Structure formats: C-alpha cells, structure tokens
C-alpha cells in the first residue's frame, strides 16, 4: 500500500512539474496571429520558426547566448577547480578546525544573493569591473564556489583513507596526491558540480541585469528579460519561443553528463 501511495505522489509531482513545460511548448509553437490572449492548452496553429526568428532578431539572442556560454563554462570550470582544491584541503589534508573551514566556505550559500547587490555594484563601479566580461566571470566564480565545494567535499570524505596513506608512504607530495589520486577518483563529482554551476550561471538574471547593461556583455537571461519588456510589441508566443531556445543548452549539457551526475549523487547519498 505504501508503495502505491509513493508512486502516486511521484506521478502527481511529475505532472505538476510537466504542466508549465507543456504550456511553454504549446504556446511557443502557436503563431502570434493564432494566440487568443490567454494560454492555449492545445495548439491551434504553427508558428514556431517565425516566433524563434522574431525573438532572435528582437532581443539579439545570438551574442547573449555566446556571452552566457562563455560565463557558464569558464566560471563553472574555475569554481570547480578552486572548490576541489578547498575540498581536498578540508577533507584529506591534516588541517586544523576542518568544520570551521567547511562552514566558512559553505556559508556563502546561506545568505540571499540580493544582500550582495549594493556593495557589489559600488565595488564594480569603483574598480572598473562594471559592465565587463571579466567582472561577470568574477562574480559567477564567487557564487559558484560554495556549492561546488559542498559537493566535492562530501565526495572527498568517502574516499578510503588507506589510498591516501599508501600514497603518502610511497613519498607522494600533497600536490602529487591531489593531481594523481584525488582528481581521477573525483571526476564524476567534479562533472556533477560543473553541471550544477553551469545551469545556475546560465539561468542567472539577478547579476545579469545589475552588473551589466551593454548588449555585448549581458547574459542570455537579461536579453530574454528585455524581450519580455517588449511584451506588447512581439507577443507572448515570441517570448515563449525565445525561452525554448534559451533552455536548450542546459538540457543538452545535462543529458550529455547524466551518467556522471547520477553516479555522483549515489556516492553522496
């Protein structure tokens, strides 16, 4: 009986998650002329390619997608590298007060990001980082490190201590141990952390509209928000078609790395 109830709950939750996606697909496919003004539950016309073309030209999505791809890939890779170094030190090296270091780094996820907006804006304006690609990468690396550290540190504590001790007895330095033992064993966790942060950076809107204004700097979500600002001019189907295009890269990267993602979750349970 409990299994039946559990399966029903899972199906219900899956349906609740699927309804917004279904409406996005149906209304994104609908042509602007066939849109009635309220959400359609069934497609009554087909205008997907025309909607995508209108969204692409109106919001200049091409450069914005290239910017987000650059921000997501570079900042996520840098964050995973730094987080793996921190996780190795906090979980494997004989450092004092490991719990303190853990909470000091992971504590970056406990505060809402809105708290940092004013000091960040002022600091960026005073240092010349405002509305620059370097400035966007810096903030994305900073906000991506805590969660990546959480994933990698939890993986590091599951590694057999005998492996570390054997490498140390063979004369391996800590750097050699990190490079030749920890990194190969942690590939699945590193890929999972990279996917998490790639999706988070790609979907960011808050810093995209706060720390960048130029079209050649702003990320894709800021461009999509600009398209929605022109709501009355392009119509909801164009906005939704643009959202479909914007969501594709994150879906692709998730499915390409699904094997690493699932194996890492199993190891951290």
92 and 119 inside one domain: yes
Burial of 224 (0-12, 13-18, 19+ CB in 10 A): buried
- The per-residue pLDDT of the chain, averaged, comes to 82
Considering the domain boundaries, does residue 204 fall inside one? yes
35 and 65 inside one domain: no
Angle at 253 between CA 216 and CA 54, to 5 degrees: 45
User: Residue 28 has what pLDDT?
Assistant: 79
27 and 155 inside one domain: no
**pTM (two decimals):** 0.82
124 and 183 inside one domain: yes
Distance CA 147, CA 1 (A): 38
CATH number for the domain harbouring residue 79: 1.10.3720.10
User: Residue 201 has what pLDDT?
Assistant: 93
The region of weakest confidence among 89-93, 116-120, 238-242, 257-261 is 257-261
With a cut of 90, say whether residue 140 has pLDDT above it: yes
User: Residue 47 has what pLDDT?
Assistant: 76
106 and 175 inside one domain: yes
Considering the domain boundaries, does residue 260 fall inside one? yes
Which tokens is 18 given? 């699927």
Total number of domains constituting the chain: 2
161 and 36 inside one domain: no
Distance CA 67, CA 114 (A): 23
Distance CA 58, CA 65 (A): 14
With a cut of 90, say whether residue 254 has pLDDT above it: no
215 and 103 inside one domain: yes
CA Rg value for the chain: 22
Considering the domain boundaries, does residue 54 fall inside one? no
Per the structure, the complete domain to which residue 3 belongs is given by 1-46
Considering the domain boundaries, does residue 53 fall inside one? no
With a cut of 90, say whether residue 226 has pLDDT above it: no
- Range of 22-26, 38-42, 194-198 with top mean pLDDT: 194-198
**Could you tell me how far CA 13 lies from the centroid of its own chain?**
23
28 and 4 inside one domain: yes
With a cut of 60, say whether residue 54 has pLDDT above it: yes
With a cut of 70, say whether residue 262 has pLDDT above it: no
User: Residue 68 has what pLDDT?
Assistant: 92
CB 48 within 8 A of CB 173: no
Comparing 163 with 135, which gets the higher pLDDT? 135
Which tokens is 43 given? 């497609």
Q: Could you tell me the pLDDT band of residue 60, with boundaries at 50, 70 and 90? A: confident
Q: Mean pLDDT throughout 32-47?
A: 75
Q: Mean pLDDT throughout 228-249?
A: 76
99 and 166 inside one domain: yes
With a cut of 80, say whether residue 197 has pLDDT above it: yes
Considering the domain boundaries, does residue 144 fall inside one? yes
81 and 161 inside one domain: yes
With a cut of 70, say whether residue 46 has pLDDT above it: yes
User: Residue 269 has what pLDDT?
Assistant: 46
Percent residues over pLDDT 70 in the chain: 94
User: Residue 79 has what pLDDT?
Assistant: 93
The region of weakest confidence among 21-30, 74-83, 142-151 is 21-30
Considering the domain boundaries, does residue 203 fall inside one? yes
Considering the domain boundaries, does residue 87 fall inside one? yes
Helix/strand/coil (H/E/C) assignment for every residue in the chain: CHHHHHHHHHHHHHHHHHHHHHHHHHHHHCCCCCCCCCCCCCCCCCCHHHHHHHHHHHHCHHHHHHHHHHHHHHHHHHHHHHHHHHHHHHHCCCCCCHHHHHHHHHHHHCCCHHHHHHHHHHHHHHHCCCCCHHHHHHHHHHHHHHHHHHHHHHHHCCCCHHHHHHHHHCCCCHHHHHHHHHHHHCHHHHHHHHHHHHHHHHCCCHHHHHCCCCCCCCCHHHHHHHHHHCHHHHCHHHHHHHHHHHHHHHHHHHHHCHHHHHHHHHHHC
117 and 149 inside one domain: yes
Q: Identify the residue whose tokens are 């009554």.
A: 44
User: Residue 139 has what pLDDT?
Assistant: 92
Considering the domain boundaries, does residue 55 fall inside one? no
With a cut of 60, say whether residue 203 has pLDDT above it: yes
Q: Identify the residue whose tokens are 């921000």.
A: 71
Q: Mean pLDDT throughout 37-66?
A: 80
16 and 40 inside one domain: yes
Q: Could you tell me the pLDDT band of residue 231, with boundaries at 50, 70 and 90? A: very low
């Amino acid at each position: 009986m409990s299994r039946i109830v559990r399966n029903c709950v899972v199906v219900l939750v899956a349906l609740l998650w699927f309804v917004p996606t279904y409406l996005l697909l149906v209304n994104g496919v609908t042509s602007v002329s066939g849109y009635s003004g309220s959400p359609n539950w069934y497609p009554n016309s087909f205008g997907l390619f025309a909607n995508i073309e209108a969204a692409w030209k109106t919001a200049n999505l091409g450069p914005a997608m290239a910017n987000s791809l650059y921000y997501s890939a570079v900042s996520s890779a840098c964050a995973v590298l730094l987080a793996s170094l921190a996780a190795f030190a906090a979980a494997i090296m004989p450092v004092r007060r490991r719990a303190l270091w853990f909470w000091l780094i992971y504590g970056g996820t406990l505060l809402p990001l809105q708290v940092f907006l004013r000091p960040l804006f002022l600091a960026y304006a005073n240092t010349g980082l405002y509305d620059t690609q370097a400035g966007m990468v810096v903030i994305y690396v900073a906000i991506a490190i805590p969660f990546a550290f959480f994933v990698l540190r939890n993986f590091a504590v599951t590694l057999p201590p005998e492996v570390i001790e054997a490498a140390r007895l063979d004369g391996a330095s800590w750097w050699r141990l990190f490079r030749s033992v920890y990194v190969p064993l942690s590939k699945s966790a590193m890929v999972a952390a990279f996917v998490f942060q790639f999706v988070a950076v790609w979907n960011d809107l808050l810093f995209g509209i706060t720390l960048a204004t130029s079209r050649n700097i702003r990320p894709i979500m800021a461009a999509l928000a600009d398209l929605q600002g022109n709501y009355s001019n392009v119509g909801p189907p164009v906005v939704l078609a643009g959202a479909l295009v914007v969501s594709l890269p994150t879906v692709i990267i998730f499915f390409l790395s699904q094997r690493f993602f699932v194996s890492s979750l199993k190891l951290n349970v």
